């Protein structure tokens, strides 16, 4: 049997005003071609189908089109909810099983048996994102930690598939030591949520995970990663899907995806020649984040910004200005701000009839620095 493992589609994701659905569409078209070429019979989608709990209509249209195309190719699809998905929205997809080869598992099942799917001699144990609230509700021992509860649940799932010839775990969770890409929801990839690799039962032949957006393998656990670069922290990152061949022994073959638009972060220093940079930018395709390092008193900042905007047009997603020297001392700031500081001193004296304490001046300067920085990076 041949399977394909993908995850973290994040349909409806946008960068600034730019929707990433065309990048996703481009990836999903390749997924369908790969399924046909590699004679895949089951596609596993390990959660985060959508970017938001309430996805817009265009994103739902894109996903339903993809799922029905797979159905007409005779391919079965298994989807589980990720932390970005609404459990109830994924639940509504369960009805489609009656008319299409679609199997949706919306939330961890009270009885692990109900989260097992069987395809001949293959059993797939599904664990949609185990939210803390839900896993606490499922577990009678409230004093156990989150990861202990998940580990217990994984053990119970493994027991349910014991007798199957091939066993697969399909789950949306964080495994300890996984290298994140920086585009995952930060609160859900911390230590608290990290399940230890040894807590994943040995019995599974393949462990298909979603949640972490970087393609990688940790012991037996595989993250396929997202099928396109989600945000700028994934710049330069290659994207893959995993082909899983169940034969006498199990083979896993990562297949690289083409990207519709690469993400680029371009740094421009105060001494860089803007003409040369423009030439370099023209040779790149994709979406851009530009970070301009400049002396904040430099009046040409806005001219440079305009030039870059004109050159990149809608492909410029973010423009940031960084003060020239991040390490400069408070003292070096004071001369530029002297006027505001003395105005403050005057005001203080007028109202309170005494001079400003040194401590207060220091704090005032700090606020000025912060306000200045924020004005330019907003």
- Near Mn ion in 137-176, by CB under 5 A: none
The shares of helix, strand and coil residues in the chain, as percent rounded to the nearest 5, are 40, 25, 35
**Structure tokens given for 68:** 């029905």
Q: Nearest-CB residue to Mn ion?
A: 48
> Which of 48, 51, 106, 234 is close enough to bind Mn ion by CB under 5 A?
48
Task: List, as one string, the DSSP characters of 106-145.
Answer: -S--SSGGGGEEEETTEEEEEE----HHHHHHH-S-TTS-
Q: How far is the CB of 113 from Mn ion (least distance, A)?
A: 27
Residue 4-23 contact track with Mn ion, rule CB under 5 A, x = bound: ----x---------------
Closest to Mn ion by CB, 8 or 231: 8
234 binds Mn ion (CB under 5 A): no
Cα of 197 vs its chain's centroid, Å? 21
Q: How far is the CB of 213 from Mn ion (least distance, A)?
A: 6
Q: How far is the CB of 20 from Mn ion (least distance, A)?
A: 13
Backbone dihedral angles phi then psi of residue 351, each to the nearest 5 degrees: -80, -45
Closest to Mn ion by CB, 8 or 234: 8
Picking from 222, 376, 207, the residue whose alpha carbon sits closest to that of residue 305 is: 376
Closest to Mn ion by CB, 8 or 23: 8
Q: How far is the CB of 376 from Mn ion (least distance, A)?
A: 32
**Structure tokens given for 176:** 């300890």
Closest to Mn ion by CB, 108 or 201: 108
Q: How many residues bind Mn ion (CB under 5 A)?
A: 2
Query: Taking a C-beta distance cutoff of 8 angstroms, is the pair 365, 373 a contact?
Result: no
Q: How far is the CB of 220 from Mn ion (least distance, A)?
A: 21
Q: How far is the CB of 51 from Mn ion (least distance, A)?
A: 8
Closest to Mn ion by CB, 47 or 112: 47
Find the radius of gyration of the CA atoms of the chain: 26
Q: How far is the CB of 238 from Mn ion (least distance, A)?
A: 17
- The stretch among 44-52, 130-138, 174-182, 274-282 that binds Mn ion (CB under 5 A) is 44-52
Closest to Mn ion by CB, 52 or 217: 52
Cα 9 to Cα 49: distance, rounded to the nearest angstrom: 5
Longest distance between any two alpha carbons in the chain, whole Å: 89
Spatial CB neighbours of 149, under 8 Å, sequence gap ≥ 6: 130, 135, 136, 138, 139, 141
Q: How far is the CB of 356 from Mn ion (least distance, A)?
A: 50
Cα 45 to Cα 51: distance, rounded to the nearest angstrom: 14
Cα 325 to Cα 47: distance, rounded to the nearest angstrom: 43
- The stretch among 46-54, 165-173, 252-260, 319-327 that binds Mn ion (CB under 5 A) is 46-54
- The stretch among 1-9, 104-112, 143-151, 165-173 that binds Mn ion (CB under 5 A) is 1-9
The SS3 assignment for 225 reads coil
Residue numbers of the site for Mn ion (CB under 5 A)?
8, 48
């Amino acid at each position: 049997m041949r399977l394909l493992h993908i995850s973290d589609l994040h349909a409806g994701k946008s960068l600034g005003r730019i929707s990433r659905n065309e990048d996703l569409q481009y990836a999903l078209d390749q997924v369908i071609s790969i399924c046909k070429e590699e004679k895949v019979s089951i596609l596993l989608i390990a959660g985060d189908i959508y970017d938001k709990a309430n996805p817009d209509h265009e994103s739902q249209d894109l996903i339903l089109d993809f799922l029905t195309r797979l159905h007409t190719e005779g391919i079965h699809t298994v989807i589980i909810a990720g932390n970005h998905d609404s459990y109830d929205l994924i639940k509504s997809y369960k009805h489609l099983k009656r008319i299409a080869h679609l199997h949706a598992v919306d939330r961890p099942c009270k009885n692990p048996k109900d989260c097992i799917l069987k395809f001949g001699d293959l059993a797939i144990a599904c664990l949609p994102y185990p939210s803390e609230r839900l896993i606490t509700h499922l577990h009678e021992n409230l004093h156990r930690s989150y990861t202990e509860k998940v580990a217990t649940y994984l053990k119970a799932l493994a027991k349910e598939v014991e007798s199957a010839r091939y066993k697969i775990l399909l789950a949306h969770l964080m495994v300890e030591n996984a290298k994140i890409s920086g585009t995952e929801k930060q609160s859900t990839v911390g230590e608290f949520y990290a399940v230890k690799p040894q807590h994943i039962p040995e019995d599974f032949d393949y462990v298909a995970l979603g949640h972490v957006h970087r393609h990688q393998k940790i012991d037996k656990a595989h993250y396929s990663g997202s099928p396109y670069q989600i945000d700028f922290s994934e710049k330069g990152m290659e994207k893959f899907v995993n082909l899983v061949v169940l034969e006498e022994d199990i083979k896993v073959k990562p297949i690289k995806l083409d990207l519709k638009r690469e993400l680029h972060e371009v740094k421009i220093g105060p001494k860089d020649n803007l003409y040369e940079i423009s030439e370099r930018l023209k040779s790149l395709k994709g979406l851009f984040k530009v970070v301009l390092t400049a002396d904040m008193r430099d009046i040409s900042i806005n001219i440079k910004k305009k030039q870059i905007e004109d050159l990149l047009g809608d492909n410029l997603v973010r423009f940031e200005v960084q003060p020239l020297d991040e390490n400069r001392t408070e003292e070096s700031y004071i001369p530029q701000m002297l006027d505001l500081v003395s105005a403050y001193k005057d005001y203080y004296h007028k109202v309170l009839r005494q001079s400003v304490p040194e401590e207060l001046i220091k704090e005032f300067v700090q606020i000025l620095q912060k306000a200045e920085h924020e004005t330019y990076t907003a």
